[in-house]
Amino acid sequence: MTAARYLVTGATGFIGRRLTRMILARGGAVTALARPSARARALRELGVQVVTGDLTTGRGLTEALRGADRVIHLAAALRARGPAGFWTVNRDGVARLVRALAAQRRPARLVLCSSLAAGPAISLYGASKRAGEQVAREYAGQVPVVIVRPGIVYGPGEEALLPALLPMIRLGVVVKAGYGPRRYGLVYVDDLCTALLAATERGPVLEPAGRGSGPRSGGTRSDTGPGLYPISDGNAYDFSDICRALARAAGCRDPLVLPVPMPAVHAVAALAELAARGAVPALNRDKAREMGHADWTCVPDAAVRELGFAPATTLTQGFEAALRTAP
């Protein structure tokens, strides 16, 4: 039996590196579309076929798709200096990929890794991810497409949640954006990778734009039909729950959580961008827009039912695994 061949975009990123190793461990073959980098060289050393290119220009895409049975699209712009930086990657990159697939005689099944942020789309990032989903839906009649919308993804090598919280956890005081409850859906990176692989193998695909059977859990009124899977470990964590779990994993006492008014958060984010001198800091105005949203949870029932999704990692276990590789 011939091993399945996957094209993975974003294979040099946090999720992509874990996903690639999982595919190889299962006996699959991986092609990665990537720019030249130390991480790309590391993939080659693992036995990955690395095609030099990227989705912002489409360079290398035809070669990377050659022979692929399944495509998992992870490449995304998480931060950008303005709207164009998000749209160029998160919408137009998807468009190049689905058009290339649609041009094939027998298009490979595409799993698009989106984000819960695409639901309310209150940030530029979320709006751009939603635009990418819409492009994929427009080609759903020609390309078999599945969309996976994870909540916050964490684990070894993650560069956002732990670096932001861990220093405050160790000090014993954590700053929280805004007053009132803040609830989040989280998923351990390996559990997400298992869901992504399951989505390449089973479950319904998106129906073409204009069709559908009604909203699903974790979506909004325009998120219709099969093939759309919100993903989390099934729990709704308050911000203080996350802080306590991380403190336990780090061997620290439960921290004091201090709320900060959202106008102050927006002001600090703007100042951080000015101080970054053209770079995009972790706390930026677009991220501040998301931080003001009270509920980032979802119900992964569709993934459990149709993909066999069964998250295996508790929050504390996941934080412990992440901290074993943290500096």
The residues near 81 (Cβ < 8 Å, ≥ 6 apart) are 278, 280
The answer to whether the predicted template modeling score (pTM) of the entire model surpasses 0.85 is yes
Element (H or E) spanning 32, and its range?
A: strand 29-34
Domain boundaries in the chain? 5-154+186-232+297-311
Q: Quick one: 5-154+186-232+297-311 is in which CATH superfamily?
A: NAD(P)-binding Rossmann-like Domain (3.40.50.720)
Q: Using the 8-state DSSP alphabet, how is residue 69 labeled?
A: S
Q: Looking at residue 318, what DSSP letter applies? A: H
How far is Cα 294 from Cα 98, in angstroms, rounded to an integer?
33
Would you give the end-to-end CA distance of the chain in angstroms? 42
Coarse DSSP helix, strand, coil percentages of the chain, rounded to the nearest 5 percent: 40, 20, 40
Residue pair 309/190 in contact by the 8 Å Cβ criterion: no
Q: For 46, what's the count of Cα atoms within 13 Å in the CB-facing half-sphere?
A: 25
- CA neighbours closer than 13 Å in the CB half-sphere of residue 265: 21
Tens digit of pLDDT per residue, the chain (327 long)? 568 999 999 999 999 999 999 999 999 999 999 999 999 999 999 999 999 999 999 999 999 999 999 999 999 999 998 899 999 999 999 999 999 999 999 999 999 999 999 999 999 999 999 999 999 999 999 999 999 999 999 999 998 899 999 999 999 999 999 999 999 999 999 999 999 999 999 999 998 766 544 334 444 434 656 999 999 999 999 999 999 999 999 999 999 999 999 999 999 999 999 998 878 898 999 999 999 999 999 999 999 999 999 999 999 999 999 998 755
Report the half-sphere exposure of 288 (CA within 13 A, side-chain side). Answer: 19
Residues composing the chain: 327
Tokens standing for residue 142:
């020609």
DSSP classification of residue 254: P
> Which secondary-structure segment (H or E) carries 273?
helix 262-275
Amino acid residing at 274: L
CA distance 211 to 225: 7
**29/49 Cα distance (integer angstroms):** 8
Return the structure tokens found at 322. 């992440």
Token pair of 179 as six digits: 């007053």
